[in-house]
Amino acid sequence: MLSRTEHRGVCRLLSSVMSGTESHTDREEDYRFLHSMLMEKKLHLLFKIHERLKRFEKRSPIPVQEHAASLASDLAEELIYQVWRDEVEELVALFSKPNFKGLLSVHDAVAQRDFEPTLPPIPDHVLEEDEDSVKIVSLVKTKDPLGATIKRDKSTGAIVVARIMRGGAADKSGLIHEGDELKEVNGVSLEHRKPKEILTLLACSQGEVTFKIIPASSKEDMSSHKKLFMRALFDYDPNEDPTVPCKDAAVAFKRGDVLQIVSMEDDTWWQACHLGDSNTRAMLIPCQQLHERRVSLQRPKALFKPPRVKPPVLEDVDDGAVTGIHIAGLRRSFRLGRKSCLAGEAARSGRWSTGVHGSVCPPTYIEVIPYLRNPKDRHRLVVLVGPSGVGVNELKRRLLISDPDHYGVTVPHTSREKRRQENEGVDYHFVSIHTFEEDILNHRFVEYGRYRGHYYGTSLDSVHRVMAKGKVCLLDVHPNKIKHVYTSEFKPYVVFVKPPHIQELRLTRRRAKFTCTEEDKNSVRSFSEEDFEDMIHSAETMESQSGHLFDKVIVNGDITVAFRELKAALEKLEEAEVQWIPAEWICSSPTKARRSCGHLDSWI
C-alpha cells in the first residue's frame, strides 16, 4: 500500500505535470479535461495497485490453489446457514460482489495458466512419418497476417519460407525460420501448390493454424553432411575426458569405428552418429584439431621408454629349412628383419609414422566411404604386419596351403648371385646391383634392404603380377612401408598379427623354432624369454605408431584359432558386403571433410 507520503508524492507529481502543461494548452477546456482526468481517484488507485504489484513481483508469489472462485461460492453457501453475525454478513456480501468474483476468476485463470491458447493434439499421421526432422508448429492467427513470405524453391519445387518479418506472429513464435520447408497447412499438403494458393489458404485460416515443417537447419545438415563418414583413428571415452561439455551428450568410440559426421560447425566439438548404433541421435565427439592439440600436449611415452634395439640383421634363410615346406615368397630375406632398427628408429624419432613430407601428426579421423567390390575388380591387397617371430610367415604359409589357387605371394628381388638349386622368378628375381639401385631411385620397391653387400627387396611390380593373376596377394612388410601401397590401386587390407600375453607365448611356443639373427644364417633355435619380451615390446611400438592403419588385429596365441580368424576375415572381405575404405582411394577431388582432416598423407 502506498504510504501517506508516497501518495502525496504522486499527487504532487500529477499537479506539477498539470502546471507544466499549462503553457502548452491553448484552450481552457482541454486543460480542464486533462486536469480532471489526472486528478481522477481511479487513476490514483491504479497507481496504488501498480505500486503494490511491483512490490509483490519481487516476492514472485505463486497461487496457493487454482479454484479460488468455486471455493468462495461454496463458502458463501455454507455461511448462509451460520449464525448471522455482522462479520459473516459482510463476508457474504463481499463474495457476491461482481468485482470480487471477477478478481477470483482472474486469479484462477492465472493459476491454471488458462490464458495460453490451447493447441490441437498432434495429428496421428504425423507421428508415423519416416522423416524424423519434421516439425509441427501451431500458431494462433488473428486477422493480421503471420508475418512471413514464402516462395517456391526452383531446384526442388518445395515451398520454403523466404522471409520472416520482424515482430510478426511467426517471428514472435520463434518456431518458423527462413529456409524452412512448408509441407502442410492445417493438414492440407502443399505439394504442387502455387505460393498464391497457399496465401489464400492462410488468409482463410483463423485461430490455430498448424504447419508441418522441415526445419532449414536439418535440411542443410542432411544434404551437406549426410554422406560424410569418418573412421576414428583413436579411442575416445567421454567419461575420461574432463573437458567434455556434457558427458551424456558425448559418444565413446574405439579406433576403427565409423562415425557419421552431422555437424562440424563448432570449433572444438563435432556432432556425429555412431554407425551400427541403434541410437541415431547425434552426439558430441572431439574435433580433429582438439584431439591433435591434446596429443601434442601429452608426454610422448615412446620417447621415454628405452627401445630394445638390436643391430639390423637381414637374414637369408629359407623358411623351408625350418618348416620343411618350401614356398617362394616365404622368406625372411626381404622382410628386412622386422626385429631390425627400423622400428627402433621410429620409436626414437616420434610416436607416429612420419609422412612423405616428414611431418608428424597424431592420427585423428580419416574420411571413409562405403565400397562394394565388383566381382570383376581385383582383390584387395592383404598386408600382414607383426613383430618378428610372431607368426606372420606361419599364417601366410597356412593360407597358401589352404587354397594355393586363390592366394599368392610375391617373388622378391635380389642383387646376389643365383645359387644352383634356385630358379629365376621362382625363388627370386635376380638382378644386377645397378638395376636394383635404378629401381630404388624409381621408387619401384615397397621395401628393400641390404645384407652382406647384397640388395633384397619386394617390388611393386611383383605385387601387381600376383594381383593380375586374380589372386589375393599376401604381402608382409614393416608397418612403416604400408604407405607405399596405401593407394586406390591396391586398396590394402592391413592385418596386424599380435603376440598374446607372455604366459601364452611361453606355453604355445615351447616347441617352436625360429631362424635366429646371429651370424650363422642357417641356425635355428628356440624362443628365449628375451625374444618374447622383444616381440611384445615391438608389437606395442608398432601398434602405437601405426595402429590407425590396421583393419584387423589378430592375436596369435593358438595358431589354429588365429588362422581360422584370419581366413574368416579374408573370406568376409570377398563377400558382397560394404567395406569402409578411405575416401581418397575413390574420390579424386578432396571433399570438405578431406580438407578438414588435413595432413592425411603425413601420417600414412
Residues of this chain that bind ligand ATP (CB under 6 A): 322, 332, 335, 338, 386, 388-394, 508-509, 512-514, 556, 559, 562
Q: Which is nearer to ligand ATP, 146 or 384 (CB)?
A: 384
Q: Which is nearer to ligand ATP, 346 or 390 (CB)?
A: 390
Q: Which grid coordinates are listed for 570? A: 579374408
Q: Which grid coordinates are listed for 248? A: 551424456
Q: Which is nearer to ligand ATP, 490 or 514 (CB)?
A: 514
> Contact 360/602 with Cβ under 8 angstroms?
yes
Q: How far is the CB of 561 from ligand ATP (least distance, A)?
A: 8
Q: How far is the CB of 315 from ligand ATP (least distance, A)?
A: 8
Q: How far is the CB of 514 from ligand ATP (least distance, A)?
A: 4
Q: How far is the CB of 524 from ligand ATP (least distance, A)?
A: 8
In terms of DSSP H, where are the helices of 154-226?
169-173, 195-204, 216-225
Q: What is the DSSP letter of 153?
A: -
Q: How far is the CB of 428 from ligand ATP (least distance, A)?
A: 17
Residue whose C-beta lies closest to ligand ATP: 391
Tally the C-alpha atoms within 13 A of residue 374's C-alpha that lie toward its C-beta.
2
Q: Which is nearer to ligand ATP, 37 or 325 (CB)?
A: 325
Q: Which is nearer to ligand ATP, 99 or 560 (CB)?
A: 560
Q: How far is the CB of 350 from ligand ATP (least distance, A)?
A: 24
Q: Which is nearer to ligand ATP, 212 or 397 (CB)?
A: 397
> Contact 424/346 with Cβ under 8 angstroms?
no
Sign of the dihedral defined by the CA atoms of residues 180, 181, 185, 187, in that order: negative
Q: How far is the CB of 450 from ligand ATP (least distance, A)?
A: 17
Q: Which is nearer to ligand ATP, 448 or 514 (CB)?
A: 514
Parallel/antiparallel/unpaired status of strands 472-476 and 407-409:
parallel
Q: Which is nearer to ligand ATP, 476 or 584 (CB)?
A: 476
Helices 98-111, 86-96: axis angle to 10 degrees equals: 70
Q: How far is the CB of 332 from ligand ATP (least distance, A)?
A: 4
Provide, for the chain, the percentages of residues in helix, strand and coil under a 3-state DSSP scheme, each rounded to the nearest 5.
40, 20, 40
Q: Which grid coordinates are listed for 87? A: 462479520
Sign of the dihedral defined by the CA atoms of residues 300, 301, 303, 309, in that order: negative
**CA-CA distance, 479 to 456, in Å (whole number)?**
18
> Contact 376/475 with Cβ under 8 angstroms?
no
What is the radius of gyration, based on Cα positions, of the chain? 40
Burial class (CB in 10 A: 0-12, 13-18, 19+), 490: buried
